Amino acid sequence: MSYLNPILNFDKAPTRGKAIKAMCAHCMGCTRDHIEVGFRESVRNCTATGCPLYMYRPYQKKGKDEENRDQEDVSAHTA
């Protein structure tokens, strides 16, 4: 189940997005050998607004406006 660990995923094939996920997971207590139960929800509910990665943190639920915009983008590309 190592594929669920963002830190190990980053180690296997580093990307900017994986680095952000790994850092947020690390901040919530995850390590290479341990995944904190509920860390995704903890990242989603993060209150560290001073963190440089705060606005980029993963596991966010999309708002209705974003969902509609994504749907419009898909429709435009398939038409």
Q: For residue 48, what are its two tokens?
A: 């560290």
Please tell me the predicted confidence (pLDDT) of residue 73.
Answer: 45
Instruction: Judge contact between 57 and 42, C-beta under 8 A.
Output: no
Q: Where are the alpha helices (DSSP H) in the chain?
A: 6-12, 16-27, 39-44, 64-78
What is the value of pTM for the model shown? 0.73
Of 27, 53, 17, 59, the closest CA to residue 40 belongs to 59
| Residue 51 pLDDT exceeds 80 | yes
| Residue 35 pLDDT exceeds 80 | yes
Please tell me the predicted confidence (pLDDT) of residue 62.
Answer: 75
Please tell me the predicted confidence (pLDDT) of residue 3.
Answer: 75
| Residue 24 pLDDT exceeds 90 | yes
